[in-house]
Each structure stands twice: as C-alpha cells, then as structure tokens.
C-alpha cells in the first residue's frame, strides 16, 4: 500500500473525544524517544505530519491521522519517561491504558522498541499487559540504520530469544529505520492485509 493522503484529525487526552468513526485504527506506541513520530512520518512520506524531537516526551497526546480516507493511524505518547515525574508518568499511563482498553476501533498496536537494546523491563511488562488483556500487537525494532546488517540480525535473534524465555509464541516482528526507510513496505502491507480482511468479513 502506498499512502497517498494523510491528514491530521485531532489531538486529545481523552479516549471519549477520539473521532467518532467506524474506520479501523492502528496505533504506534513505545518508550519515549524510540522513534514513533519519526516512523509515522516515514510511513506517510510527510516529515511534518507528526512532531518529532530529540527531547524525550515530545508527544503527550493521542494524535489521530486519517490515511487514504480509509483508516486511522494514531501516534501515542511514549511511556516511562522519567523526567515527567511520577504524577506525569501516571497521567500518561492512564491515557494510554484507557485508549487501548476502551477504543473499539483499535485493530492492532505496533509496539516500538530500539533495535540497539536488549529487551527492557518496561517494554516486556507492557507487552505482558497487552497479552493479559488480549490486545493484538506487533513489534517494530526501530533505528536499524544505527547498526551494520550483521549486528542487526544478531540483535533481532537475541531479542526473539529473550522474549521466548517467558513467552511460548512470538508476535510478528518488523525492523525499521526512519532514515533509510527500511521496513516501510512490510509495515504498510501488514496494515493493508488486516484492513482488507476486515472488509471481507464485514
């Protein structure tokens, strides 16, 4: 799928104020600074669509974007950002959890992790929580351009093995780079396939 049209719809902190619509929705989540907003800009060929920053904690709201007049893409705030303080972290956690548990249009969540790191406790706990709540998700390992191909494939293997220490099955895992556009087709095809299957079954 090629994204021909992407427009910002609304930002808010309240799942009840998200767009009233029957369009399927795909959301991007992960730790602050992992590259959620950059990935969204890369996927939509629009460097100004989602606000990015070198300072973690840039995205503080649930941001809806309408794609090809056919589905919504959602940029969520990063979790676990220390400098926000305990109250700030709790507030973001509440926004994220309400959105994930209450938003009926949400079809799949893309959980971004930094490909350079070993599995982080906060990501693992978050994905465990998704599993407990039966929320379908896919992992995207970001910033792949920061490593050689060999290093990258070793990191991906190590990440899978670490997950398999506690999980029986692995979710789908993609590797991406917002700088060299790695992963773009795979991620967009994944979304397209799910959206088509929803249409066929409706």
Q: Contacts with ligand GTP: how many residues (CB under 6 A)?
A: 24
Q: What is the rounded CA–CA span in Å between residue 131 and residue 137? A: 9
Residue range at the interface with ligand GTP (CB under 6 A); choices 46-54, 66-74, 119-127, 183-191: 46-54
Q: Is 58 in the site for ligand GTP (CB under 6 A)?
A: yes
Q: Is 88 in the site for ligand GTP (CB under 6 A)?
A: no
Q: What is the rounded CA–CA span in Å between residue 25 and residue 16? A: 15
**Residues 26, 191: contact at Cβ < 8 Å?**
yes
Nearer to ligand GTP, 166 or 179 (CB): 179
Q: Is 179 in the site for ligand GTP (CB under 6 A)?
A: yes
H and E: helices and strands count for the chain: 5, 7
Nearer to ligand GTP, 143 or 184 (CB): 143
Build a one-symbol-per-residue string for 10-49: x at contacts with Mg ion by CB under 5 A, - elsewhere: --------------------------xx------------
Q: Which of the listed partners (Mg ion, ligand GTP, none) does 184 bind, with a CB threshold of 5 to 8 Å by partner kind?
A: none
Torsions phi, psi for 194 (to 5 deg): -65, -45
**Residues 33, 113: contact at Cβ < 8 Å?**
no
Residues across the chain:
202
């Amino acid at each position: 799928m090629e994204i021909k049209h992407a427009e910002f719809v609304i930002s808010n902190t309240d799942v009840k104020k998200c767009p009233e619509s029957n369009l399927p929705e795909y959301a991007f989540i992960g730790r602050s600074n992992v590259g959620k907003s950059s990935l969204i800009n890369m996927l939509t060929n629009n460097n100004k669509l989602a606000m990015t920053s070198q300072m973690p904690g840039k995205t503080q709201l649930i941001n809806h974007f309408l794609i090809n007049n056919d589905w919504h893409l959602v940029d969520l705030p990063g979790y676990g950002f220390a400098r926000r303080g305990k109250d700030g972290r709790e507030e973001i956690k509440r926004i994220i959890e309400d959105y994930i548990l209450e938003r009926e249009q949400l079809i799949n969540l893309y959980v971004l992790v930094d490909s350079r790191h070993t599995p982080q406790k906060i990501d693992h706990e978050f994905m465990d929580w998704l599993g407990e709540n039966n929320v379908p998700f896919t992992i995207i390992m970001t910033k792949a351009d920061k490593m050689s191909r060999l290093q990258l494939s070793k990191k991906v293997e190590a990440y899978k093995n670490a997950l398999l220490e506690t999980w029986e099955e692995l979710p789908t895992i993609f590797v991406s780079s917002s700088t060299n556009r790695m992963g773009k087709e795979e991620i967009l095809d994944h979304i397209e396939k799910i959206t088509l299957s929803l249409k066929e079954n409706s």
